Structure 1
């Protein structure tokens, strides 16, 4: 794959910024077709599908931020000259062709493409059928920006395949694929892993936990829980499970207070057997597999743990490995929790809603990786490169 100069990449992005502004009306009209055809009962999915003026402004901002970032390609990682005279330089390099499979969110069509393109990768965008009109219009904008700068459309391609066609494509793609990022639920991830013939980077479920330690500041705790649960239920960084330490002072009162606050916010509260002894009117969970579920809804579970160790064990058993929080004024307990919990992001006294490229200083993101190779957490511009060794010699042979 030919390496483009930083200048030509940034010219394409500058064109794209102008085109998004000029075609704002067409983008929103295309999105309206998708919204009119969508079943609004799935609130989380509907929220993700909406494109309004604010969303278009966000798209423009994402492209602007990436344009202003340093080019991540061809950056020297290390340099070493061996005793035999070989000079070995390790540099960043593009992946090649990246495929992303996602549902509902048309803004991913902008964020994924701008990141892949600036990192000198081609990208195949496999959006969901629910956003087909929006995605077609946005990719049309990309093609206009590419054409203005003398580049071919194949740098950014939209795939409109059904499930069977996607399966066939994964098994026998018509072009070389170097990386696939499935951005969705476990069924989608399992489907891609089963059929893909190249590397798959997992952008997994949220199912995020918050643990209320015995030394938690109660006012902070309530504030953080309400934000993490209700701020945006469709986000993968929303809170689903709350664990209380059995040694928390005034435990019964605090359980009742939190329950009242959550109900006032419109959150359905489920409880385990121990919490049910206090919150007697709430629905008791009957099947422990619900601890694995990501709700994407105004619903949460409140459970009880004996101490920080049992909280860690429960989180590591059931969470999606995305984000976990401990609420405590005990810094030692917080540090132990953060070291031992197996999540991409671990928090002390803060909402899980900050696991986001923009909020973590990464800027636009392709996804939140819950994988451990080659990166974990927000996949920003720098994370869309791999590496290559350049070895310079003068006739050396191995003996």
Structure 2
């Protein structure tokens, strides 16, 4: 691995990349249209993630500009200690080295994840999906141009144009040193990477998020939050899939019918547990296994619970460890819920759609981790580092 680049160089590359994206905007959209034409179109969520329009390009440019303006995450002092014998000891953040990002369908990841990894002093290996190959190769070409324009080796950003067999072979026996792998995509991709990788993996992206409507909920807020969580973007890991209604909510059956009517206006398929199906006439779920599923589609399951404790237990059993929200006017009940639900992000009276690096003030994210090591939730610039101990002595021996 090359020596770490000075922060000025890293920022200059990011700023140049932002300018090149603006300059090549029309060409990027035209090439992306070829990817969309080639795509079979059998997965609506995949197709939404594949599209690159002006809004997506604006987002890519903004993420690079924000990254360029942020503090260097490398070399930050985390701990200082002076030993009795005079040794001066400090712990500082350090780059990982080489990070491999494996992702499906989303050309914007080629910019955002690449930028975050590069800004934090790491070499990036990008392995995108075949459906977005032309868009990704165009964007990586711009990365190489931005690097060359700043006299930096193009090997800092590398695209692995591998099929599944070649990817498996690389994971099991890498042809270069890889220090960390981040898979972004569905469960099949994550399981494939975890099975074959020989270095640490940060699991990202599985949602299956819950909203719990407590007995003391504000009904109007509950409806707005559920509609937003389910319908604003079905293709993202922070979308809503499950709703639990407390049967102690006054006239809960009327509320259930109301929320179902609203969801159906957005063409959402609504399934219910036994009591919701009986009360509203929606189709009943065939088995409890559906509670484990992430849909990435216009589909939702609504069920009931008889207590806050039961809601917490059900969420902890079935959710993907990503996000959960409680709708209630009772702050003490909300706090109890938030402290006991085991997800990366917990909400009180707000949509799960905010679990996102940019929305949570990180300026962007490499991924959203549902693991607990070494970072949980959105992985921003400041989390894409490891640490290193610096010890200064004058001949001390132990």
TM-score category (smaller protein): over 0.9
Query: How far has the Cα of 1:158 moved from its partner?
Result: 0.7
The unaligned stretches of length 5 or more in structure 1 are none
- Please state whether the residue corresponding to 1:277 is helix, strand or coil: helix
Q: How many residues align?
A: 397
Moved more, 139-148 or 178-187: 178-187
For residues 151-190 of structure 1, what are the structure 2 equivalents within 5 Å?
151-190=152-191
- Please state whether the residue corresponding to 1:387 is helix, strand or coil: strand
Aligned residue for 1:266? 267
> For residues 131 and 214 of structure 1, what CA distance do their matches in structure 2 show?
46
Aligned residue for 2:245? 244
Aligned residue for 1:354? 354
Aligned residue for 1:106? 107
> For residues 132 and 391 of structure 2, what CA distance do their matches in structure 1 show?
46
For residues 220-259 of structure 1, what are the structure 2 equivalents within 5 Å?
220-259=221-260
For residues 333-348 of structure 1, what are the structure 2 equivalents within 5 Å?
333-348=333-348
Moved more, 40-49 or 110-119: 40-49
For residues 125-136 of structure 1, what are the structure 2 equivalents within 5 Å?
125-136=126-137
Which 4+ stretches in 1 moved above 2 angstroms? none
> For residues 219 and 364 of structure 1, what CA distance do their matches in structure 2 show?
31
Q: Is the 8 A contact 1:48 1:234 kept in 2?
A: yes
- Please state whether the residue corresponding to 1:131 is helix, strand or coil: helix
Query: How far has the Cα of 1:276 moved from its partner?
Result: 1.3
Aligned residue for 2:312? 312
Query: How far has the Cα of 1:39 moved from its partner?
Result: 2.1
TM-score between both structures, scaled by the size of structure 1: 0.98
Query: How far has the Cα of 1:40 moved from its partner?
Result: 2.3
Match status 1:328 vs 2:319 = no
Report Cα offsets for 1:128-182 as digits up to 9, x if no partner: 0000000000000000000011111110111111111110000110110100001
> For residues 161 and 342 of structure 1, what CA distance do their matches in structure 2 show?
36
> For residues 153 and 332 of structure 2, what CA distance do their matches in structure 1 show?
56
Match status 1:196 vs 2:231 = no
Match status 1:205 vs 2:214 = no
> For residues 171 and 128 of structure 2, what CA distance do their matches in structure 1 show?
15
> For residues 90 and 164 of structure 1, what CA distance do their matches in structure 2 show?
41
Query: How far has the Cα of 1:101 moved from its partner?
Result: 0.6
Report Cα offsets for 1:200-225 as digits up to 9, x if no partner: 01104100000000000101100111
> For residues 137 and 230 of structure 1, what CA distance do their matches in structure 2 show?
31
Aligned residue for 2:52? 51
> For residues 300 and 145 of structure 2, what CA distance do their matches in structure 1 show?
45
> For residues 109 and 345 of structure 2, what CA distance do their matches in structure 1 show?
21
CA-based RMSD of the aligned residues comes to 0.8
Q: Is the 8 A contact 1:204 1:320 kept in 2?
A: no
- Please state whether the residue corresponding to 1:200 is helix, strand or coil: coil
Q: Is the 8 A contact 2:126 2:158 kept in 1?
A: yes
Report Cα offsets for 1:41-85 as digits up to 9, x if no partner: 311111100011221111111100100101111111111001011
> For residues 134 and 278 of structure 2, what CA distance do their matches in structure 1 show?
51
- Please state whether the residue corresponding to 1:189 is helix, strand or coil: helix
TM-score between both structures, scaled by the size of structure 2: 0.98
Q: Is the 8 A contact 2:205 2:367 kept in 1?
A: no
Aligned residue for 1:397? 397
> For residues 364 and 324 of structure 1, what CA distance do their matches in structure 2 show?
21
- Please state whether the residue corresponding to 2:89 is helix, strand or coil: strand
> For residues 258 and 62 of structure 1, what CA distance do their matches in structure 2 show?
36
Match status 1:385 vs 2:369 = no
Query: How far has the Cα of 1:279 moved from its partner?
Result: 1.4
